Amino acid sequence: MTKKLLVICGPTSTGKTSLAIKIAKKLNGEIVSADSRQVYKIMNIGTGKDLPVNSKLIINNSKLGGYYEAEGIKIWGYDLVDPKGEFSVAQYLKIAHRIIDDISKRGAFPILVGGTGLYIRGVIDGIDTADVPKNNKLRKNLEGKSVNELYEKLSQLDSLKAGSFNSSDKKNPRRLVRAIEIAQYQLTKKFVTSARHTIGNNFDVLRIGLTAPKEFIDRRIVKRVIDRLDKGIKTEVENLLKSGVTWENQAMMAMGYGLWRDYFEGDVTEDQILAEWARDEVRYAKRQMVWFKKDRRITWFDITDPEFLINVESLVKKWYNQA
RNA sequence: GCCUUUGUAGCUCAAUGGUAGAGCACACCCUUGAAACGGGUGGGACGGCGGUUCGAUUCCUCCCAAAGGCA
């Protein structure tokens, strides 16, 4: 019997985790979060970890991070790093692969759940250049250069790569800098493109996407933002600051966090923050859909369809029981 | 009632006697070690009726609206 991996993806607030828990209960599953912000410790309310009260991160093997338990189901992939630190896809991929292998080895069923499309794609299809490390010196040198200068430099180093850039990315400093970084690395290392680590070849993967009409999602987002205020997002932000996290940290750029700076330091009201936060989430949901829509391997379910749960579960069971 | 100022995109503001730009918002799209990040493209406006002028968003009259001041 081949190893199986279930993916549950989709825009924010479509109930991905709660569906995953339901399925996990029936099939001895364990959840692996694919969310670029839930990787940070302390950031629970704003990132929607929805953990039961008093639950604690359990660490048996530090190479796997640790897991929380919700309704008896293990959730991995949370709290991988301190909010003062940096994080990137590359780190996520390493640890996610270890977690998935470990779950599978123990005979349990891994369910990859999240809204960060890049992370999911990376885990399953791999990222060729993920092993090319960040080069802070280079990045510093390139800081402040115009996009034209950056593009020129990239063309000199790797004309093929430069040619593949579309009109949007030609003007995207971040992508240009990264491409230059890779090109330079490959020059010095003489093309050590390591065999990329992928899940796709070793696992039978089923991708499920959850969606809903836009108005439904938008309404839910507004409700959820208010809910997070009630749960104490303001205190959470204060605690982060107390623990030494600054507004400049990568983690604080997350939706629902950075916004509060204008509240704590400026004269923006709580209502204004909430409105902006909801607006950010709505836009984000849109971007997520744009991203996921392109993957034709995803089977979509509308969560407002009364038959939705029955349909998903029967599809998953059928797939799971195939040899 | 009188005087002054103002009226340009959903919002905040430019410029100009030859039919208008920006930022934010919105829509659509892109994304391979920051991805809840970063980037591209697009639609959308001169308060109203007249007058002067070859031509008015720009100058003038009146009307309407807003803000401030004087009574």
Q: What is the per-residue pLDDT across A250-309, written as a single tens digit (0 to 9) for each?
A: 999 999 999 999 899 887 889 889 989 999 999 999 999 999 999 999 999 999 999 999
Indicate if A113 and A141 belong to the same structural domain.
no
At a CB cut-off of 8 Å and minimum separation 6, what does A25 contact? Answer: A71, A72, A73
Q: What is the per-residue pLDDT across A172-191, written as a single tens digit (0 to 9) for each?
A: 999 999 999 999 998 887 55
In a domain, A14, yes or no: yes
Number of domains chain A is built from: 2
Instruction: Kindly determine whether the C-beta of residue A172 is less than 7 Å away from any atom of nucleic acid strand B.
Output: yes
Which of residues 275 to 294 on A have a Cβ less than 7 angstroms from any strand B atom?
279-280, 282-284, 286-288, 290-291, 294
Report the C-alpha gap between A171 and A52 in whole angstroms.
44
Indicate if A206 and A184 belong to the same structural domain.
no
CATH at residue A17: 3.40.50.300
- Whether the per-residue pLDDT at A2 is higher than 70: the answer is yes
Q: Annotation-wise, does A62 bind a ligand?
A: no
Indicate if A56 and A111 belong to the same structural domain.
yes
Q: What is the per-residue pLDDT across A195-237, written as a single tens digit (0 to 9) for each?
A: 556 777 889 999 999 999 988 999 999 999 999 999 999 999 9
Which of residues 189 to 208 on A have a Cβ less than 7 angstroms from any strand B atom?
none
What residue numbers bound the domain in which A63 lies? 3-127+197-213+286-321
Q: What is the ipTM of this complex?
A: 0.84
In a domain, A296, yes or no: yes
In a domain, A266, yes or no: no
Nucleotides in B strand less than 7 A from protein CB: 25-41
Mean pLDDT is lowest, of A24-33, A98-107, A193-202, for A193-202
- The closest of A9, A126, A16, A111 to A320, measured between CA atoms, is A111
Indicate if A42 and A155 belong to the same structural domain.
no
Q: What is the per-residue pLDDT across A36-78, written as a single tens digit (0 to 9) for each?
A: 999 999 999 999 998 988 899 999 988 999 999 999 999 999 9
Indicate if A141 and A209 belong to the same structural domain.
no
Indicate if A177 and A43 belong to the same structural domain.
no
Indicate if A60 and A170 belong to the same structural domain.
no
Instruction: Kindly determine whether the C-beta of residue A135 is less than 7 Å away from any atom of nucleic acid strand B.
Output: no
Q: Annotation-wise, does A256 bind a ligand?
A: no
Number of H helices and number of E strands within chain A? 12, 7
